[in-house]
């Protein structure tokens, strides 16, 4: 089964291409009707295929949905990684802001794909294991930024914890200890909790904007978002 690039048959090439086209058509469908209403028949229609033909490419509707979800996580993750990489390494707050703006920018340009991953789950659909890794890309970006900020700070003034300390209840302490080990990240547990809250606030702020919960309170969403993310970054101890 040597399917190296050169030796790929015409059949294999056609298959890859159609798989991509099916996903693209499905994404276009999403834009118009949302994830719950994704229809295999409509996708087939748009491509001029018999509806049954889709089954040569995906075992069923749920697997197509899974592919779209994985692609969406990867797309927003890649975009965030790209913009974050453009900020100067020493500017930790700038790196966080770049990440946040990247996520919001992508969300505004891909509303329904964003809803697919950060809105309410599609009813009757259970996300499989395959979505976990791609979903972690943005949080891991944040971890990297905080790690670097910690390292820079430790050099100048060793031992000082990031952010404002406060007593952690036992249940939280246990979870944060496990999370620190999992991430191989040597920061105070308070900081880990703060990172989770920053991540939550980032997505929460975009959700509120997109889902209309700020109508009547905010009109300059660009400025609002940037300001709230600056405050969030400062709270993380980023400078």
Q: Minimum distance from CB of 74 to DNA (Å)? A: 23
x/- map, 128-167, a second copy, by CB under 8 A: ----x--x------------------------------x-
Residue 185 is given by DSSP the state: -
55 in contact with a second copy (CB under 8 A): no
CA dist 17 and 33 (Å) reads 24
172 touches, from a second copy, DNA, none (C-beta below 5 to 8 Å by class) = a second copy
Q: Minimum distance from CB of 19 to DNA (Å)? A: 9
Q: Tokens in use for 47?
A: 């491509």
Beta-carbon count within 10 A of 217 CB: 8
Contact at 8 Å (CB) between 29 and 42? yes
Which residues of this chain interact with DNA, rule CB under 7 A? 9-12, 14-15, 18, 38-42, 45, 48-53, 55-57, 60-62
Q: Minimum distance from CB of 34 to DNA (Å)? A: 13
Q: Minimum distance from CB of 2 to DNA (Å)? A: 9
Residue 126 is given by DSSP the state: -
52 touches, from a second copy, DNA, none (C-beta below 5 to 8 Å by class) = DNA
Beta-carbon count within 10 A of 43 CB: 24
**In 3D, which of 108, 118, 87, 88 has the Cα closest to residue 199?**
118
Handedness of CA 177, 167, 144, 185 (dihedral sign): negative
Q: Minimum distance from CB of 43 to DNA (Å)? A: 8
Number of C-alpha atoms within 13 angstroms, CB side, residue 94? Answer: 8
**Three-class secondary structure of residue 83 per DSSP:** helix
Cβ closer to a second copy: 18 or 214?
214
Binding residues for a second copy, rule: CB under 8 A, are: 33-34, 36-37, 115, 118-121, 123-124, 127, 132, 135, 166, 168-172, 174-175, 179, 182, 193-194, 196-197, 200-201, 203-205, 207-208, 211-214, 216-220, 222-224, 226-228, 230-232, 234-235
């Amino acid at each position: 089964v040597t399917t190296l690039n050169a030796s790929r048959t015409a059949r294999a090439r056609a298959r890859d291409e159609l798989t991509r086209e099916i996903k693209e058509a499905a994404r276009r469908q999403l834009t118009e009707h949302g994830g719950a209403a994704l229809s295999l028949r409509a996708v087939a229609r748009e491509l001029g295929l018999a509806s049954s033909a889709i089954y040569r490419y995906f075992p069923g509707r749920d697997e197509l949905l899974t592919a779209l979800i994985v692609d969406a996580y990867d797309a927003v993750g890649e975009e965030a990684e790209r913009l974050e990489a453009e900020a100067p390494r020493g500017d930790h707050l700038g790196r966080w802001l770049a990440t946040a703006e990247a996520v919001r920018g992508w969300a505004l340009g891909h509303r329904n794909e964003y809803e697919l991953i950060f809105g309410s789950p599609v009813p009757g659909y259970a996300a499989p294991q395959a979505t976990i890794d791609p979903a972690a890309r943005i949080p891991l970006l944040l971890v990297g930024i905080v790690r670097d900020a910690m390292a820079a700070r430790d050099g100048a003034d060793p031992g000082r914890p990031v952010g404002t300390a406060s007593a952690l209840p036992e249940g939280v302490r246990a979870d944060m200890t496990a999370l620190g080990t999992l991430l191989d990240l040597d920061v105070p547990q308070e900081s880990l909790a703060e990172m989770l809250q920053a991540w939550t606030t980032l997505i929460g702020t975009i959700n509120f904007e997109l889902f209309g919960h700020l109508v009547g309170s905010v009109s300059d969403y660009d400025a609002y978002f940037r300001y709230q993310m600056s405050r969030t970054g400062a709270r993380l101890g980023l400078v």
